Amino acid sequence: MIVGGGHAGATLAGLLRRGGHQGEVLLLGDETDFPYQRPPLSKGVVICAIADDTATARREAAAQIAFYVAPKAYGPVMEASGFGAEAAAVQAAFRAGDHQSMIAAVSDKMLDRMAVAGTVDEVRDALPVIERRYDHAALYSPSFTVPPERVAENTEAIIETFGRRDPLSSPRSRDTIASRVQNLHRSDR
């Protein structure tokens, strides 16, 4: 029995097999994903949408996921993650130029696996599940099909919810953030 289903546990299980262990290997852990070979210091970018209306936040996060899944190169990754059907639907809608169908093709399960979206409290509750996959997680505001003002609003909500308040206490700092977000949004087009 191996306690801990992360990188070290998976490595130990593999070493036992390669070393000739013929008995049962039981790997126990609270991880939601199967063990995989991640570097000891992993970083992840988590799509994060915060809004008073949960449906709005989830739609914004689904749009960003659809944007990332649209290239055919991501098909095998999505297939291995159990989202092959969703990826195929997103890619077909992308080829047809249908953004709304791209977004609709992102299932709730896919969204919950790849993003956190909802009210402040819902996002606070959901983040630890995704965050524990990484040693460091950076939160990213959706921008695909989202107006620049809303991207700035969401970015500020992320900072207000999870960031330190001191560096952002001045209105000038907040204006700078909003300006940078709008400039980044323009460069995505």
137: part of which helix (H) or strand (E)? strand 136-140
Could you give the residue ranges of the DSSP H alpha helices within the chain?
Answer: 7-18, 54-69, 75-80, 84-95, 99-104, 108-114, 120-131, 148-162, 171-188
Quick check: helix, strand or coil at residue 95? Answer: helix
Digit-coded pLDDT (tens) for 103-135 = 999 999 999 999 999 999 999 999 998 888 887
Predicted pLDDT at 33: 64
The two tokens of residue 187 are 């460069």
Tokens of 59: 């739609």
Top-ranked range on mean pLDDT: pick from 12-26, 123-137, 141-155 = 141-155
pLDDT at 141 over 70: yes
Integer Cα distance of 75 and 81 in angstroms:
10
